[in-house]
Chains A and B, each alone.
Chain A
Amino acid sequence: MIRLGGGSTIGRVVATEALPAGPHQFHFWTAIDTAIGIGAIVRVDAENGRTVYAVVVDGRAYSDLATPLHEVVAAEGDPAGDRAPTRRTEIRLWTAAVLRHEPDEPIQPVPLADVLLATEQDVEAALRMDGYVRGEQPTGIPIGVYRAGGLAAPVYLDADFLLGPESAHLNISGVSGLATKTSAVEFLLSSIFQRLPSHKGSVAALCFNVKGPDLCFLDQPTELTEADEELYSVMGLAPRPFEKVHYFAPYKADGVNLNTLRSNAALVGDVQPLVWGLREVLDYHEVLLNRDDIDAKADAFLDFLADRVVDKQFRDEWGNTHRVGSFADLQLLFKAIFDGLEAAGRGDSWRTHHIATIRKVRNRLLNISTRCRGLVTDDGTVSDLPFGRFEDRSVYVLDVAGMDQLGQDLVFTRVVTRLREHLERGDLGVDHVVVFVDELNKYAPADGPDTYVRKMLLDISERGRYLGLVLFAAQQFRSQVHRRVVGNAGTLVFGRMDMDELAMPGYQVLSPATKIKLATLPPGALVVPRPPFSQPLFVRVPRPAVLQGPAGVKRFPPAADVPFEEAVVRQLTAMDKRIAPARIRDCIAGRREDDVRRALLATARTRPDDVEGYFKASLGPAVRREAAGRDQDATTPLRSVEDPYAT
């Protein structure tokens, strides 16, 4: 290959009546052995000072052979015969799509002049990056490296378009494994953290880990190849893992082992439990109802519970006083209602709510406490994200990969709604939050019922940019995601694509050669279509400088689930290495699991200096076991998800 570097003449524009040069497309020829290819950026300088920047979208080679028959005649019909002593004259003829004219007006056909390989400055100009990479308040965020003919130039996105307010959101599509979607988002988050200029304010990322160990090791370094390191250096970025990462995971159904693959003893200590109570669930009860049927009556009853019952003194008609603070309390209330109605003998409604509605709501609510047993506690303890205290350049990873879809929906809805509320009030702690939702097609599918989660994602995509609430989403097939959610993404990125997907009408603007290139992109190569020309730009993206999920579980094998007592010991010793396991065992021996769990949770949430003392104090003195009545009606826990990698 010829290494030319930018700025050298590599071709000449040709135009014939049949193949003219237009204002948006032109043709040029090069030497047979040329450094350019599909996706290369070129520049044409006219004598009158006009400059045109363009990207190569197609290439053809042909010889002066007028018809294949002439080859047959010359070879006397024998393809294996002697080679002709002379090679026919060949041409490499390229088609380029114009990216930019300078001056912008008037738009004229491309001049029939020399074609130059773009320099770094040309790449900046061609992609209109000069407007935001230079100047007093630059807002360029490196997204990858453009490479052609020996030139390696950084490509920037405009933070104003990526994080708002001009536009916002990023959507990345491509086939599994080869498109490197998740990796690319990790890289880009790191790039944002390193380069978001101070005048744009602070930024944090909230990542939902929805697939196995994908995002479980963002704080761990990894070995990079020299090629990757070079890419980092071209972009002026430091290849290092995230410095501030906070992990949250619900418990498994046993209520003590964390439901995450970051469960290796060396790491599990900094995973905080995500535990919600009745109040947290009831506020987002829409999630529970919209899945099967939207029912105004059930809605009304839920409102009644939320407004009049939960966390309040409530007297029923049968002389009982309730203070409902947990699912267990709620269970008792329902029992009282059903018993009371039955005793009265004509039990078809209670306080205007039909008994069928009451049953339905009861089933839904108790169902969630069962299906999300590790997330939702019966007893009213809560451990939540630090809303209001989000820190600049921090990543908050919510590991929901092991959760049931209903639980994931609940987590999404509640977390995003809280983010939104805080951002609206300006008291989240940071100015921007990037919410990363992988496998978006599961949460905002193109078809299927209009779920609350999808509505919420649509809402972020439409209004988030004014708030600093930014959605980064990835999915294999863009066509399987709700149109408007994708449509509102200001930045679209493609990794290797599926040919069937490329055959969809949305991709018609791409040339056949570009489509083929898209369908055969190697890992780490991405395409960033550039509005307003919608011509693709091919960039190289390095591996993120963090330990990737599969390698992470090799280096930090997840711990097997351990019995209750052992799990408590491990979690406490992970918080404080000085604790003697035997003392903990003694202290929890014979105690109710719920009480131990509550004390453990309180300790994990507080992170006191004196872990052991705090835990013991929270546990309180041993009291005689109460009658087990409370637990009588509890449904058996669901088994935890067997295959954590299953999607």
Chain B
Amino acid sequence: MADALRSAGGTVGAGALLTHVAPPVASPFGTASHVEGECILAIDVGGPAPPPEAVAFLDGIQRYAVEGRFGLVPVVRGYAAAAVLEREGTELGVARALQEEFLVVARSRLTPDQEAALEDVDLPIVECDAAERSHPILDVQLAAKAVQRRREVVEAELAAAHIEEAPGSWLVVDGSLGGIGALEDGARVVGLVKSHETQFLEGADLEVALTLPEGHRTSVFARTAGARGRVFSFYLRLWPWQEHDLLHGLVRIERPPGEAAVAEASEVSRWLLAERAPLSAPDGRWDRLIYPIRQVETFLRAQAGGWW
């Protein structure tokens, strides 16, 4: 089989055993426009280089539980937390952290008595969208989205605080910059996206991006999809993907739009390559999850403890 693939120019994967159809991807495609050059190229960044002195890492977590229902309407208790760990020398320390607990409910579907009863609970109430038709699963999904939005808000607040209070410092954010809000050109914020559900490129550009060799990045492009504004982005291959699959070791970097994003793309890539050590294994996402981000997550999980 491997020979067959190779003989006609294919690549050999890991051949991992699968059993289930992957759940549908919510938004598989986005759009993009070229920023750096006219097409997407694979650029060798020149190997790892030491990260900047002042750098911090941000991540957030969320949890929720269906506490009960008024009729069919779910009443959800949610928890969102985020933290920034700052690196001093080689030590990570907690620079700032926020956590909150709240109720999520579709107020429009409650009676005044029900609303009043919830207000007596000593937790803030977060409104969530109400579907036109009740659905036991979709209703909960809508509430969960509200929890996620709270998490993004908490993350955005922490990011804003960090940017304001540590202006020279870099901030590496787990995931897309979409939720962080508008950032100036040159803001030292880096989004590190590990999941590739939404593909912004297509055709030859996409092929270049998804088959990047180790230590290479793509040209910078602007992703335009969604209500979340314009963000500059490029792909970076942290580990060789041969013998695995296309997405192994592939991250997508996001930066605030502007000239700096292009000018700094290779530099940022180089230090992110240095962040491959220490390895975040045994975490299954070790090929894309850098150790400091995992440490933020570990801290948040420990802090949440057995939240329920």
Contact = CB atoms under 8 A, between A and B. Distances in A.
Interface of A: 65-67, 70-71, 73-75, 82-89
Contacts of B278: 65, 70-71, 74, 84, 86, 88
A86 B281 contact: no
Contacts of A74: 276-279
B90 A83 contact: yes
Contacts of A83: 90
Contacts of B91: 87
Interface string B106-127: 0000000000000000000000
Interface string B79-107: 00000000100111000000000000000
Nearest to B90: A87
A89 B295 CA distance: 8
Given A82-B274, A86-B291, A89-B295, A70 B90 contact: no
9 contacts: A71-B279, A73-B279, A74-B277, A82-B50, A82-B274, A84-B274, A85-B87, A86-B291, A87-B90
Nearest to A74: B277
A250 to B, nearest CB: 70
B48 A82 contact: yes
A89 B48 CA distance: 23
B292 interface: yes
Nearest to B294: A64
B51 interface: yes
Interface of B: 48, 50-51, 87, 90-92, 271, 274-279, 281-282, 291-292, 295, 298
Nearest to A81: B277
A428 to B, nearest CB: 68
Contacts of B275: 85-86
The 4 closest A-B pairs by CB, nearest first: A74-B277, A84-B277, A87-B90, A74-B279
Among B51, B277, B295, chain A packs the most CB atoms within 10 A around the CB of B277
Contact of A85 (B90, B281, B282, B295): B90
A89 B90 CA distance: 11
Main secondary structure of the interface of A (DSSP, over half): loop
Contacts of B271: 85
Contacts of B87: 85-86
A73 B249 CA distance: 13
Nearest to A69: B281
Among B87, B276, B298, chain A packs the most CB atoms within 10 A around the CB of B276
Contacts of B90: 83-87
A71 B291 CA distance: 12
Nearest to B49: A82
B292 A86 contact: yes
A258 B298 CA distance: 79
A91 to B, nearest CB: 13
Contacts of B48: 82
Contacts of B51: 85
Contacts of A66: 281-282
A71 B281 CA distance: 10
Contacts of B274: 82, 84-85
A86 B85 CA distance: 11
A155 B279 CA distance: 49
Contacts of A82: 48, 50, 274, 277
Nearest to B87: A86
A86 B279 contact: no
Contacts of A73: 279, 281
A73 B279 CA distance: 8
Nearest to A89: B295
Contacts of B276: 74
Contacts of B298: 89
A89 B91 CA distance: 8
B294 to A, nearest CB: 9
B126 to A, nearest CB: 33
A394 to B, nearest CB: 62
A324 to B, nearest CB: 89
A67 B279 CA distance: 10
A75 B277 contact: yes
Given A85-B90, A86-B292, A87-B90, A70 B50 contact: no
A75 B278 CA distance: 8
Among B50, B91, B281, B295, chain A packs the most CB atoms within 10 A around the CB of B281
Given A66-B282, A82-B274, 13 more contacts: A70-B278, A71-B278, A71-B279, A75-B277, A84-B277, A84-B278, A85-B50, A85-B87, A85-B274, A86-B92, A86-B275, A86-B278, A87-B90
Contacts of A86: 87, 90, 92, 275, 278, 291-292, 295
B238 to A, nearest CB: 11
Contact of B281 (A70, A84, A89): A70
Nearest to A72: B279
